[in-house]
Structure 1
Amino acid sequence: MQACIREIHEELGLMRQPKHLLCVDYLPTSHDKIEALVFIFAGGILTEQEIGDIRLQKSELSEFCFLPPAEAVTRLNNRLEKRITQCIEYLHSSRTLYIENQHNLPITI
């Protein structure tokens, strides 16, 4: 969780505590990728003050915007789109979703 907090601070200039672990995605080794675990945390809703405090890390981010979830996922690469679409379904629960290679399994924690 510390890596998540650190990245939010580095890239957005915000100090936020994630609400809970939303998803773990196991990615097996493939021809161009090493085996990995991807962790996604539910971050909550930004206040107007926090939105005003956003300071982008210019070397990695050029702009930000707020979109409805269905539109936001269309801007992601295919792998991330699959993962985030599944996460959106669990966003308002306190459960953790476990998926493998962007495929939903009947497992929630």
Structure 2
Amino acid sequence: MADDGREEEPLYVRDPAAWRRTLAEGNRFQARKRVAAKVVLHDEQGRLLLVDPTYKPFWDLPGGMAEANESPHEAALREVREELGLDLVLGDLLCVEWAPPRDPWDDLLMFVFDGGTLTPERAADLHPVDPEVGDIGWFTPEQASQCLREDVWARTRRALFALENRTTVYLTPDR
């Protein structure tokens, strides 16, 4: 309250620079989330493209971690380009998953996008261009379920459901 009994306006109403400083200070203490983006790609037989990363024991969908201040959409495009030399126009967002902390990682927001169906020529020419990808393969959903880690298959299965039903799903460990 002002000395004359009037309610004072908050400082930021009169001083935009002070408001920005207040926001910046608050931003320093906000949680930071890891963000990753994956892409569901099919061939004309309906098989799913999986990559075999050289740094982990299971196959995965193409894609990876977002860089600082990079949108999930841009991360998906960049990762597919880096891993496979493939430039895409992404379709719809199929799935967003919040994954809880898992040693040694903090929690994660995972976005899965529809990468569409590749022509037979593009599918046949596809190969790893990044040393982080040892191999690629086209798999039926049943085969993919055997190649993917259990939680990755659960996410992939739900993303395939979303694609088939033209919807988007949100996943958490309890859903």
TM value normalised by structure 1: 0.82
The 3 A distance-change label for structure 1 pair 80 and 4 is: same
% same residue? 28
Moved over 4 A (4+): none
1:9-33 C-alpha deviation (Å, 9 max, x unpaired): 1101110011110000011235543
Please list, as runs of the form range in 1=range in 2, the aligned pairs for 1:65-76 lying within 5 A after superposition.
Answer: 65-76=137-148
1:18-55 C-alpha deviation (Å, 9 max, x unpaired): 11100000112355431210001111111123223323
Assess if the C-alpha contact under 8 Å between 1:13 and 1:53 holds in 2: no
Q: Which amino acid aligns with 1:13?
A: G
Determine which of 130, 133, 148 is the counterpart of 1:61: 133
Assess if the C-alpha contact under 8 Å between 2:82 and 2:130 holds in 1: no
Q: Which amino acid aligns with 2:126?
A: I
Determine which of 168, 171, 175 is the counterpart of 1:96: 168
User: Are 2:116 and 1:33 equivalent residues in the alignment?
Assistant: no
TM value normalised by structure 2: 0.53
Task: Structure 1: state its 5+ residue gaps.
Answer: 105-109
Task: Structure 2: state its 5+ residue gaps.
Answer: 1-72
Q: Aligned pair count?
A: 103
Assess if the C-alpha contact under 8 Å between 2:90 and 2:114 holds in 1: yes
Instruction: Compare CA radii of gyration and give the structure with the larger one.
Output: 2
Q: Secondary structure at the match of 2:138?
A: coil
Number of the residue aligned with 1:20:
92
The 3 A distance-change label for structure 1 pair 59 and 92 is: same
Number of the residue aligned with 2:12:
none
The 3 A distance-change label for structure 1 pair 13 and 29 is: same
Q: Secondary structure at the match of 1:66?
A: strand
Whose relative contact order is higher, 1 or 2, with alpha carbons under 8 Å and at least 6 apart? 1
Offset at residue 57 of structure 1 (A):
2.3
